[in-house]
């Protein structure tokens, strides 16, 4: 059978059966607001509990007057009778799971207002059709109402420009995934992130996204390096924002791949604002932040009863190379842990700021360096030795400060890596 995409006006429809398979077809008809009648010997699925139907065995007379009949009985005798009746009563017949007897197939359908995308396997594999439909569902923006209305109005103009209409349509269906890729260990990549990779046309990738995770990006996806490292920016944030908008307006599915979790110091807010201002659909996918992964891999528990009752996550680095020490006074709070991101290169400045605040130099502290990498190392000491501690490890590194870091409170696990106590 050849496939021809057509849109049906409501037909007089008969559904035969009230079991699990019939319920699947009933749900489709209900989602389309198609009216239909039901004939079944018994109600076998709870979906029909609220349905009115004729409770009886199917008879030839039941088929009269219907334009479409769906046989969901699985009963060969009922099917044979319907096939015999069809030339005389002139109805379209669908015998569930028997494609060679079908005049039409059910498609896996995605709807966005007036836009409908139907995926058909010709009856050979409804499951595959559903999987492909779900992929399309994920790619399309959830709301196309304004785009549809705009194109509808543009199309009515006598001097309409087809190329312009195409550009408007492309710009309206582009989408951006803002994806957190964690610390680089593939085992900590979320399923949402992995599934999103399969949809991407373009990926804008940060420096902290590991080679192992980059290798999971499909070969069909264009990869653009937008690394931002201290003292070296391949792309400014404004340039990255412009790329996101430009690619999305080409109708592409764009991935913005970031290290850690984009909600923490990942400029997510700026990118969301830009995308919203341009009417571009986006989704945010969380990653495992290095702030918490550093605790996991070092054996440090940031909240321990009677030792630490809370955690504050801060950054020692602001725009460009500007040092931030506004958080240092938090260290005066008892029973509290502070986790400092981007602190390694500012170790001496942090140590000096802590001393100026009159904070006990013996307050425990640890640098957790190269998280999840083969050369991962944890340097445990005190805030009075931060500069010396930093010389024993490399970036990227997370600084953890608080009584939870005291040697007696650290309980290393198998993946804790090397630990040096000063």
Nearest to 392 by CA among 372, 373, 367: 367
- Write phi, then psi, for 234 (nearest 5 degrees): -70, -30
- Measured between alpha carbons, how far is residue 201 from residues 165, 198, 221, 359 in Å? 22, 9, 5, 51
- The terminus-to-terminus CA distance of the chain in angstroms comes to 76
Report how far residue 60's alpha carbon sits from residue 38's, in angstroms, rounded to the nearest whole number.
14
Is 228 a catalytic site residue? yes
Give the sign of the dihedral formed by CA 186, CA 187, CA 190, CA 196: positive
Catalytic residue among 62, 71, 201, 206: 206
Report how far residue 371's alpha carbon sits from residue 297's, in angstroms, rounded to the nearest whole number.
7
Give how far the C-alpha of residue 207 lies from the chain's centroid of Cα atoms, to the nearest Å: 21
Catalytic residue among 51, 86, 135, 228: 228
420 burial type by CB count under 10 A (0-12 exposed, 13-18 middle, 19+ buried): middle
For 40, which DSSP code?
Answer: E
- What positions carry a catalytic annotation? 206, 228
């Amino acid at each position: 059978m050849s496939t021809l995409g057509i849109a049906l006006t409501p037909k007089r429809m008969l559904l035969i059966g009230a079991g699990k398979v019939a319920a699947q077809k009933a749900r489709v008809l209900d989602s389309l607001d198609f009216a239909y009648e039901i004939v079944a010997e018994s109600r076998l699925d709870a979906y029909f509990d609220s349905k009115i139907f004729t409770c009886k065995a199917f008879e030839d007379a039941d088929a009269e007057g219907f334009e479409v009949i769906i046989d969901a009985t699985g009963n060969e005798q009922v099917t044979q009778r319907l096939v015999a009746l069809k030339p005389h009563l002139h109805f379209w017949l669908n015998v569930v799971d028997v494609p060679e007897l079908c005049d039409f197939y059910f498609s896996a359908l995605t709807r966005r207002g007036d836009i409908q995308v139907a995926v058909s396997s010709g009856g050979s594999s409804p499951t595959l059709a559903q999987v492909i439909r779900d992929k399309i569902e994920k790619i399309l923006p959830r709301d196309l109402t304004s785009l549809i209305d705009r194109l509808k109005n543009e199309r009515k103009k006598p001097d309409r420009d087809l190329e312009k209409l195409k550009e408007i349509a492309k710009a309206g269906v582009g989408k951006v995934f803002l994806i957190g890729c964690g610390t680089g260990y593939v085992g900590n990549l979320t399923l949402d992130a992995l599934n999103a990779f399969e949809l991407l046309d373009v990926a804008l990738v940060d420096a902290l996204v590991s080679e192992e995770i980059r290798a999971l990006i499909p070969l069909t996806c264009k990869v653009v390096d937008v690394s931002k490292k201290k003292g070296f920016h391949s792309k400014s944030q404004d340039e990255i924002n412009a790329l996101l908008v430009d690619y999305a307006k080409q109708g592409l599915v764009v991935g913005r791949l970031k290290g850690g979790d984009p909600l923490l110091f990942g400029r997510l807010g700026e990118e969301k604002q830009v995308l919203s201002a341009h009417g571009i659909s986006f989704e945010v996918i969380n990653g495992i932040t290095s702030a918490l992964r550093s605790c996991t891999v070092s054996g440090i528990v940031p909240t321990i009863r009677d030792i630490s009752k809370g955690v504050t996550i801060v950054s020692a680095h602001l725009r460009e190379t500007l040092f931030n020490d506004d958080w240092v006074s938090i260290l005066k709070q008892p029973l509290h842990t502070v986790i400092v991101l981007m602190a390694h290169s500012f170790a001496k400045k942090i140590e000096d700021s802590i001393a100026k605040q009159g904070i006990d130099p013996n307050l425990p502290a640890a640098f957790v360096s190269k998280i999840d990498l083969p050369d991962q190392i944890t340097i445990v000491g005190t805030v009075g030795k931060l500069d010396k501690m930093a010389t024993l490890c490399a970036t990227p590194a997370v600084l953890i400060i608080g009584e939870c870091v005291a040697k007696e409170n650290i309980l290393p696990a198998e993946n804790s890596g090397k630990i040096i106590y000063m």
